[in-house]
Amino acid sequence: MYIADETWPELGDYFSDESLALVPLGSTEQHGPHLPLATDHLIAEAFAREAAERTGYLCTPTINVGVSPHHRQFNGTMWVDAPQFRDYVESFTRNLTYHGIDRVIYVNAHGGNIEHLREVGRRLRDDEELYAIEWMWNDSIPELVDDLFAQNGPHGGPKETAMIQHLHPHLVRDDQLAAARDGGVPDVEAAETIKYGSRTFYDAADNTENGVLGDQTDATAEKGARMFEEATDQLCQLCEWLADQRFENLMPKPHV
C-alpha cells in the first residue's frame, strides 16, 4: 500500500490494524557517466513499493536527497548536511507515530545515509516512541552479489548498474559502460588512498576521476532481476519478523 495513493478514510482502516511502515531513502548524486543521479532513490523506492505490494504494509513517499557531500565535485550532486538530514528524518518518522505507527524500516540505498539513520533510530528508541531500523538492499544478499560480480564496486559499480538495467533500462547509458570502467578504479584499495590503516580520502574524487568503481561492463539486466527478487524476499521477511515482535521487547533494556 502506497500512502499517497490512498484516501484518509482508507488509511484509517490500515492504521487500526497495522503499525508498520516502510520509508524509502536514497540520494541524488553522481553515479558516473553511465547512470542517472537518481540511481539510489530509484532503487530504494522500487524495493519499498514492491515489498509493500507483496506484504500489504504501508510505504511512504521517498526521501530523495541524502547525505552526499563526498560527491559534491561532480556536476548536479545534491545533498543536505548530516545534522539537518537526521532532524528531517526524525521529524518525518515521528509524524508516523501520530497515526499509530510504532515500527519503521528505512529502506535505504545510499551508503552515506547509514550511520545517520542508525542515529535517528537510536533517538526514537531511547524515547521509547518507535522502533526504526535501517535496511540496505545489497547487505541483505552479500553472497549473491559476490557470486555475480568479480568486482562489484561499490559506488556506481556493476551491482547498481545491473539494478538500474533491470528497473529503468532507458536511463542506463550503455555506450558509456566501458568508459565508466576505464575511467574509474576497480576498488578503493586500487586507489591507494588507504595508508597504514588510515582512510586518507574524504571525497569520491580523491579515489576516482569519474566517480565510480568496479567493472560496469559485467552488469546485465538479468543479474539485476535476480538481485531484486532475492533482496525483496529478504525485505518481506524482515517486515513479517518486525510486525510479529512485541513492542516492549523492541525497547531498551532496563538499567542493570
Q: At 164, which amino acid appears?
A: I
What is the C-alpha separation between 107 and 24, in angstroms, rounded? 4
Give me the amino acid identity at 62.
T
Condensed to tens digits (0 to 9), the pLDDT of residues 120-174 reads 999 999 999 999 999 999 999 999 999 999 988 889 999 999 999 999 999 999 9
User: b or e along 208-225 (b: 16 or more beta carbons within 10 Å of the residue's beta carbon)?
Assistant: bebbbbbbbbbbebebbe
Q: Could you give the CA distance from residue 185 to residue 153 in angstroms, rounded to a whole number? A: 9
Question: Residue 122 carries which DSSP code?
Answer: H
Q: What is the percent of the chain where pLDDT is above 70?
A: 100
State whether residue 28 is helix, strand or coil.
Answer: strand
Radius of gyration of the chain (CA): 19
Q: Judge contact between 52 and 58, C-beta under 8 A.
A: yes
Domain 3-250 falls in which CATH fold? Rossmann fold (3.40.50)
Residue 134: how many CB atoms within 10 A of its CB? 21
How far apart (Å, rounded) are the C-alpha atoms in residues 89 and 44? 15
The CA distance from 193 to 209, in Å, is 13
- CA-nearest of 29, 18, 105 to 65 is 29
Q: What confidence category does residue 26 fall into, taking pLDDT thresholds of 50, 70 and 90?
A: very high
Render pLDDT for 201-217 as a digit per residue (tens, 0 to 9).
999 999 999 999 999 99
Please, what is the Cα angle at 146 between 143 and 150, to 5 degrees?
Answer: 165
Q: Which of 13, 115, 25 is nearest to 61 (CA)?
A: 25
User: So what's the pLDDT on residue 58?
Assistant: 98
Q: What local confidence, expressed as pLDDT, does residue 154 receive?
A: 86
Distances in Å between the Cα of 70 and the Cα atoms of 89, 173, 213 are 20, 23, 15
∠ CA(35), CA(88), CA(75), 5° rounding? 30
Q: Where are the domains of the chain?
A: 3-250
Q: Between β-strands 58-59 and 198-199, what pairing exists: parallel, antiparallel or unpaired?
A: unpaired
**Does residue 189 register a pLDDT over 90?**
no
- As a whole number, the mean pLDDT across the chain is 96
Q: What is the pLDDT of residue 188?
A: 84
What is the pairing mode between strands 58-59 and 194-195? unpaired
Neighbours of 44 (CB within 10 A): 29
Q: Which residues contact 112 (CB under 8 A, 6 or more apart)?
A: 27, 66, 67, 68, 70
Backbone angles phi, psi at 35, to 5 degrees: -125, 150
Instruction: Record the pTM.
Output: 0.95
Q: Does residue 142 have a cis bond before it (omega within 30 degrees)?
A: no
Give the cell for residue 117. Answer: 539513520
Give pLDDT tens digits for 44-97. Answer: 999 999 999 999 999 999 999 999 999 999 999 999 999 999 999 999 999 999
Q: What is the pLDDT of residue 194?
A: 87
